[in-house]
Amino acid sequence: MKPLWSFCSFLLTFTLFSCFETSRDCQSFKSGTFQFEAIVGTTIESTIFVRNDSIEIDHFRGKSDTSSIRWINDCEYILEKLKPKNRLEKKAVHVKIVSTEKDAYTFEYNIVGSKKKQRGKAMKLD
């Protein structure tokens, strides 16, 4: 009886967890005002950005930068700075929204061509 119970509990657990699917309502995050916090050195820095369908304006440390947005699909886009100041800023950034909540989304990003990905979370302010 014990092996049967173990098998049934395993099967039930597997079934419950295999049905879990992360939510991705990316349309709600294509435009608006957002905040992103990241650790830079030893301090937490905050960036506010305003995005519409084709432009994103970042506000960081009192300066603003504008980037064009090219949507690949509902949940992925490419950012390119309109006025890059150096070679690094000329490189495009690939962003993929991996999950969404009511007022926030988790995303992965990397420089196009690089395999090193980083994660972040943005909160929608409006």
- Tokens 């879990």 — which residue? 20
Domains delineated in the chain = 22-124 (2.40.128)
Neighbouring residues of 42: CB distance < 8 A, sequence distance ≥ 6: none
Average pLDDT over residues 109-122: 93
Average pLDDT over residues 6-29: 60
Confidence tier at 51 by pLDDT (50, 70, 90):
very high
Q: Which pTM was predicted?
A: 0.78
Does residue 93 contact residue 84 with C-beta atoms inside 8 Å? no
- Tokens 């039930």 — which residue? 12
